[in-house]
Structures are given as C-alpha cells and as structure tokens.
Structure 1
Amino acid sequence: MHMDKIVVSNDSDAVALLERFLNEDIDPSVVEFNGWPVYTLYLKGEKYHQSITPSLMRPLLELQKGLYKTAARVIYNDDNTNRLTDEQRGQFEYTLKVYEGSSDTNANLQDVFTGIAQSAIKKMNGKQIMIVLLAAGLLYTGHGAYEKYIDHLDKVDTNSTAVKNQEILAKSLKDQQDASLKQMQVLAAAVKQYPDVKRTQEEAQEVHFSVLKEARDADEVMVNGVPVTGAKARELTDEQRKKSEKAVFVEEFRVLAVDTTDASSTKVRVRNAKHEFWASFKDHTLDSKAINILQKHLVSRERVRLRIEGKRLGGKVQNASIIAVAPKQGEKGS
C-alpha cells in the first residue's frame, strides 16, 4: 500500500510523528525533514555583536559531537564515532549561520538528519532509527525540551526582553505550555522504552548546560526560543556546582562503548547496578594494558572492576574519570 509523504517541518510535527512511531508501524522511508530541526542561539551583550566568542565555540562543538554520536548510534548501533567515515563526517557536519547586526545564530540540521536517516535506513530497524532521530531533534532543538531542562534547574524568566524582541510568543502562553507538556510526555515515553534515546538526552543536556556556563557574561541568552538572563545563567550554573558532591566508585562495571574521537582523551560508557554514564581518561593516565582490558570487556560484555571518580548531581554522575582498571585474576591486557 502506497503511503503519502510525512513531512516534519516543526516541533509539533516531530512530536506527533514520534508518538505514532512509538505506537504504530510506519514506513520510515516516507518521512521527510523540511526545515527541521533547527538549533537557535540568541545572545545579547557587549561582546556579542555579530560574533561568537571562542568559549562559546566549545558547546557548539559539543553539539557537533552529539550529532556524530547520534549518527553512529543509528547507523552502526555503536556510540563510537570512529565508526563514521570521513565522507559521513562531512555529510553530517552542520553550518552555523550568524545574522547581521546581532549574535542571533541558527543551525539548520535538516540536511544532517536527512543524511543520517538515508545512511541508516538499510542497516537498522527503521522504526528505531526514526524514534532515535526524532527524539534527538527534539532534545537538541525543541523548545519544550529545553524549557523543561531550564525549569529543572530553576524557573525560566518569561519576562525577558529577548522574548519580546524575538516575538517567540506567537501563540498564547497556555497553548505553548500545552505543546511543551505534550513534547515532554512523548519524549519521556521514548526515553523509557529506548536506551539510545536516554543516552541522547544526557548528551543534549550536557550541551545545554555548557551553553549556559559559557554565556554567563551575556545580558541575555536564548536557546531554542527559551530566554534566560545572563544573571540567571550565572545563578543556575553556580547553584549546580554547589549541589554536586564527590562520587567515588570501586566496583564492577559493564563496558558499553569506547569513544576515541578526542585526540587527547578516551571516553568509556559504563554501567553498574544503579548508574549508566560516560567516564573519561587522559591517554597518558592509563597504560596500554588497562586500555586493552577495557576494549576486551567491551567485546566480551563481561564486567570489569574500575575505580572511577566524579561528581554526583541530581542522581546523575558527571565529570567522571577512570582512575584505575583492575584485571581479573589471570587476565592479561595484551
């Protein structure tokens, strides 16, 4: 039976289609991205006149890394972005547009998501591909997802002049709240059913927090249509640092993925009985034997005893570092 094209051109389309994929069997080949998703960033302040500071480039690069992880996840069912070819990296690279006269920027990710979908559709369950992609688009660029994230940290300043200047409240506040609530309900269902969506959510939130941290000196910052004053950004990021506590683990973990994208450090996705998170180590801090053991346990899926130190914030483990790898008796690293 022939199906008409399903066009996704905004958050509402994406939410409705994601909900359908969660509950129905739909041919993923009929889905078409048209002008969505779009990541938007607006900055107001003395330093931000038609320019992006070097410090703000860091979270924007993290956004690119997140997109590469999403691509590797849906194409190869693997978090390791080294699986991507140079051609794929070029295809999935986004372009950031800075508008004249301001630091109002956006990245239209339509071509990136279209390319990922076309590359993945023959390699993996089509339904799962679209669920992960639609969720990723909403988590990185959705108004509702970002609003919920900020609300989790504190309350959004809805009286910001940036809101008035950008005229983002085209609908009534109630309509916008209803749309945001629906978006979060559908995303929550996707997170619950699909671990890949949960990982993507964590990565998107890391990007969002990084933007807040680096935009602390702006008068106002608005991401995906959600406004926060610079003072509020400072308050939120400072408060989160105060709330975090040191976390030390000396126990067995399952190694889920190894990411060597960064030339100076390696990230390892690990899971114990209560937590799943990324932990990193500088390439010079662990010897080759320890690194080989991690690689072996990734393949064998057996648990390995690790010492990991990091921060615990709101039940999540962040900024984790692998300090030591303890081989099992008789196990060799080569």
Structure 2
Amino acid sequence: MFEQIEGTGRFLAVIRSEDDAWRLLEHATSGGDIPERLDIRFDGWPRFDLKVDGKDWKSTVPTRIMGPLLEVQKDLHRNFVAISYGSANLKKMRDEDRESLEIIVHVGEGSSDFTADLGKQFSVLAEKAVEKMTSRQAVVTILGIATIVGTTVVAKDWIASRQNEVDAEVKLELSKQETARMQILADATRQQPVLKEAQADVQQSTNRLLKTLKPNDTTVIRGVPLKASDAAEITQHERARSESIDISGAFLILANDASRGDGFTIRVTRVDDNLTFSAAVPFELPADQKQLIQEAEWSKGGVAVHLEIEAAELRGSVVGARVLSARKIDEDPLDPVRQLAGAR
C-alpha cells in the first residue's frame, strides 16, 4: 500500500485503479496506520468518461455539450482552491495553477466518446493537500474527491437516489459491494466535510450533462448507461452557484456570537452603503486583529474598523463570509467615516 522512497524518509502511495482508491480510503477512514511523511500519486486513474449516441452525434459535436464539459474543469478548480486556500474563490488561482489542472478531452471516433485521463490533475491536487494537511487528512480528502469524480458507484448512487425521489418505473440497485463503498465515502465525508460540497458540484455537473440529451439519445456517463427518457426523468433544477467576491471597507460590528469552538461570528454593516451580513472570524486571525473587532463591537456602533472579507454572493445575498484581516481606521475626529459611525 505504501512504498518507501529510498534515501528520503518519505513514503509513496500510487493509485492506479478504483480498487486501489477504495482500499486506501477505507484504510484511512477506519483508523489504519498512515505514514506521517506521505506523497500520493495517481497513475492512469481516475478518468472522465462520457459516451453519447444519437443523430446529432455522428461525426459532430453539438455545442450544447461544451458548457457542461467546462463545468467538469471548474469542479477541479473548486477543489484546488478549497484544498490550497480553504476558500471557494476561484480568483485565487494563478495561471500556472490553471495550466497544471487543464483537462485534455479526447474525442473518440464518431464524436460520441469523450474521455480524459485525470491522473496528472489529481497528482497536483494531492501535492497541495500534502502541503496543507496531515497525511491522513490528505488521503481522505484526495481519495474522497477521486472516488466522487472517477467511480461508477458514486454516479450510480446519485442516479438511484433520484429515481427513488421521483418514483421512477425503472430503478438502479446497488450491489452489496457498492453499498459498502458508499458507506466508506460517507465515513470520509464525516471526517472531511469539504467532500460534501465536492459531491454536490459533481452531481450538478452530471445533471447538466444529462440535460443536453435529446429524445432518442442514449448515454453512458461515468459507467452508467441511460436513455434520454430516463435521464429527463431524474434531472433536477440546478441549484444556484455562488460567485466568489472580496469585500472591504469600514464596518460597524453590530453583534458577535462566540459559541463556535474555533473562532466567532460577527454581524457587520458597511458604513458607506449599509451592506449587512454575518462573517466568521477564524481562530487563526492574529490576536491583535481579533481584539480590534471585539473592541468595535463593545463600542455599540461608536467605532468602525476596516475589514478585508472573503465571501460568496448567492441570489443577491452575501454568504460564507470570512474575515481575512482587520485594522484600525484613522482616529481623526473629523474623519467622515468616524462621524458616521458615531452617529449610529
């Protein structure tokens, strides 16, 4: 399972197949020994596979497939920033990051087969995970994402759950082994909650791909065969995707909630436009900056503080906000920001 890298004191796990991934993921989630200095590499797995047959897919590629295929690429980008920065902000990615994660899709004969080897991309993700996490966390996170993206059973489980929700006439059933593997993924998600969002992203991308089918089309998506009529039955309205935003300015601190064990949450309003929302103040924010925030809250709106905040916008609302930094505002009594803050 682990190979020692001679002369380095490090170990290597090479994932060459779905079976390798499930075996190591189960080992990690069940408390098995994981070397402290571990590298993870993918070789020939996972893969993206999509096959579509129909009158529009004979030596042609309908443009309606392009958007959903690009979402597969964006899913990798979302995983990268989540692992590298603990963020959903795709703007944090550098050009070299995008280049290293670029997916090359091979279009097979007849233009109905789309395949891509994602081993290189997942090796890049694994390298970042090892830098940011313990070895066990890295194994659970990376192999969790890999099984979500690259295994038939995860796609089959989502399709089967949708068929049950709509009470479809024909329903897929998971085997005993497949059910056990989905339990492994559930255990991994409890240990690394980021996997829940990764799974939701892949489900939505799969949903978008299925929506491109027209009557009489058939598909094999991530190993699961479906007719267009069956796909239409289980597709759902897409959940709105949040857009990452950066917010800064002079803020009044309206309230705080210190019930979180790893930090606290504040309710803020921006002085210049009354934009109001809640934001997490992470435990790792420097102590002097957390003190500034607390003093501003104790002032009952008499003192403003300059905040840099990372957040997302969803349906016009600010969600998932997180304070990146806090600093004092000029204390000149003629400062209009302080005058406005004091008036409140």
TM-score higher than 0.5 = yes
Say which of 184, 187, 199 aligns to 1:186: 184
Matched, 1:259 2:259: no
Shift of 1:300: 6.8
Check whether the contact 2:52–2:113 (CA below 8 A) recurs between aligned residues. Answer: yes
Check whether the contact 2:41–2:126 (CA below 8 A) recurs between aligned residues. Answer: no
Tell me which of the two structures has the higher relative contact order, counting C-alpha pairs closer than 8 angstroms and 6 or more residues apart.
Answer: 1
Shift of 1:197: 0.8
1:1-334 matches, cutoff 5 A: 3=4, 5-22=12-29, 23-27=31-35, 29-154=38-163, 177-217=175-215, 219-237=217-235, 240-241=236-237, 259-260=244-245, 289=273, 297=279, 321-322=315-316
Check whether the contact 2:3–2:13 (CA below 8 A) recurs between aligned residues. Answer: no
> In structure 2, how many angstroms separate the alpha carbons of the residues matched to 1:157 and 1:46?
26
Higher-Rg structure is: 2
> In structure 2, how many angstroms separate the alpha carbons of the residues matched to 1:157 and 1:52?
31
Question: What secondary structure is seen at the aligned counterpart in 2 of 1:31?
Answer: strand
**Which amino acid in the other structure matches residue 183 of structure 2?**
Q
> In structure 1, how many angstroms separate the alpha carbons of the residues matched to 2:77 and 2:100?
10
Question: What secondary structure is seen at the aligned counterpart in 2 of 1:41?
Answer: strand
Check whether the contact 1:158–1:227 (CA below 8 A) recurs between aligned residues. Answer: no
> In structure 2, how many angstroms separate the alpha carbons of the residues matched to 1:331 and 1:51?
62
**Which amino acid in the other structure matches residue 16 of structure 1?**
R
Unaligned runs of 5+ in 1: 160-172, 248-256, 262-287, 303-318
- Partner of 2:328 in structure 1? none
**Deviation string, structure 1 residues 259-292 (Cα, Å, up to 9, x no partner):** 259xxxxxxxxxxxxxxxxxxxxxxxxxx9477x
**Which amino acid in the other structure matches residue 150 of structure 1?**
I
Check whether the contact 1:43–1:218 (CA below 8 A) recurs between aligned residues. Answer: no
Check whether the contact 2:46–2:117 (CA below 8 A) recurs between aligned residues. Answer: yes
- Partner of 2:324 in structure 1? none
Check whether the contact 1:143–1:225 (CA below 8 A) recurs between aligned residues. Answer: yes
> In structure 2, how many angstroms separate the alpha carbons of the residues matched to 1:331 and 1:20?
55
**Deviation string, structure 1 residues 7-37 (Cα, Å, up to 9, x no partner):** 2122221111111122234236343211111
Q: CA RMSD in A?
A: 3.7
- Cα 1:2–1:324, aligned 2, differ >3 Å: closer, same or farther? closer
Check whether the contact 2:34–2:136 (CA below 8 A) recurs between aligned residues. Answer: yes
- Cα 1:196–1:9, aligned 2, differ >3 Å: closer, same or farther? same
> In structure 2, how many angstroms separate the alpha carbons of the residues matched to 1:101 and 1:20?
42
Shift of 1:331: 7.7
Question: What secondary structure is seen at the aligned counterpart in 2 of 1:40?
Answer: strand
Check whether the contact 1:50–1:98 (CA below 8 A) recurs between aligned residues. Answer: no
Task: Tell me the TM-score normalised to structure 1 length.
Answer: 0.66
- Cα 1:153–1:135, aligned 2, differ >3 Å: closer, same or farther? same
Question: What secondary structure is seen at the aligned counterpart in 2 of 1:105?
Answer: strand
Shift of 1:215: 2.1
**Deviation string, structure 1 residues 58-105 (Cα, Å, up to 9, x no partner):** 111111111011111112222222222110111011111111234111
> In structure 1, how many angstroms separate the alpha carbons of the residues matched to 2:204 and 2:21?
22
**Which amino acid in the other structure matches residue 57 of structure 1?**
M
Question: What secondary structure is seen at the aligned counterpart in 2 of 1:122?
Answer: helix
Task: Tell me the TM-score normalised to structure 2 length.
Answer: 0.64
**Which amino acid in the other structure matches residue 24 of structure 1?**
G
**Which amino acid in the other structure matches residue 109 of structure 2?**
E
**Deviation string, structure 1 residues 310-333 (Cα, Å, up to 9, x no partner):** xxxxxxxxx9613589xxxx889x
Check whether the contact 1:157–1:229 (CA below 8 A) recurs between aligned residues. Answer: no
Check whether the contact 1:56–1:211 (CA below 8 A) recurs between aligned residues. Answer: yes
Shift of 1:207: 0.8
> In structure 1, how many angstroms separate the alpha carbons of the residues matched to 2:158 and 2:50?
16
> In structure 2, how many angstroms separate the alpha carbons of the residues matched to 1:71 and 1:92?
9
**Deviation string, structure 1 residues 236-267 (Cα, Å, up to 9, x no partner):** 22xx45xx9x99xxxxxxxxx96259xxxxxx
- Cα 1:137–1:229, aligned 2, differ >3 Å: closer, same or farther? same
**Which amino acid in the other structure matches residue 152 of structure 1?**
S
Percent identity for Structure 1 against Structure 2: 27
